[in-house]
């Protein structure tokens, strides 16, 4: 079974803090994605990566950056967290067409 894990299920951070969200997949997938999910807005793509050290902006990259140093690991970075970044963050990896999602990290920025 494909497994995508995320470093935390719940996270509480203060405004202005630097936040790292880690995602690891165990299926040697080349493509990995970061989404945020908000009520009424659905899943929105922040960044994706199609190879090590390669990244592409998604639909809402502002305020975020990413890092992909190893194939299995894709990190989302909030350089200076703000309250409007309070959300559910979901990581996914892709095999052919389907995406496999992690359990999500619920981030609260106070």
Partner 1 sequence: SQKIEQNSEALNIQEGKTATLTCNYTNYSPAYLQWYRQDPGRGPVFLLLIRENEKEKRKERLKVTFDTTLKQSLFHITASQPADSATYLCALDRGNMLTFGGGTRLMVKP
Residues that bind partner 1 (CB under 8 A): 4, 31, 33, 35, 40-45, 48, 50, 56, 58-59, 90, 92, 97-104
Question: CB 16 → partner 1: shortest distance, Å?
Answer: 28
Displacement of CA 51 from its chain's centroid (Å)? 15
Both structure tokens of 37: 């999910």
C-beta of 62 vs 97, nearer to partner 1 = 97
CB of 45 to partner 1, least distance (A): 6
CA distance 57 to 35: 11
Distance CA 13, CA 30 (A): 30
Yes or no: say if 102 and 90 are a contact pair by the CB < 8 Å rule: yes
- Find the shortest distance in angstroms from Cβ 80 to partner 1: 26
Task: Specify the residue, 28 or 56, whose C-beta has the smaller distance to partner 1.
Answer: 56
């Amino acid at each position: 079974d494909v497994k995508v894990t995320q470093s935390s299920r719940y996270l509480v951070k203060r405004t202005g803090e630097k936040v790292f969200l880690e995602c690891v997949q165990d299926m040697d997938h080349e493509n990995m994605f970061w989404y945020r999910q908000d009520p009424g807005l659905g899943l929105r793509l922040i960044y994706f990566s199609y190879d090590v050290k390669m990244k592409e902006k998604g639909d809402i990259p502002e305020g975020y950056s990413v890092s992909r140093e190893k194939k299995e690991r894709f990190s989302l970075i909030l350089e200076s967290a703000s309250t409007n970044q309070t959300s559910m963050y979901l990581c996914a990896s892709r095999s052919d067409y389907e995406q496999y999602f992690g359990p999500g990290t619920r981030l609260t920025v106070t």
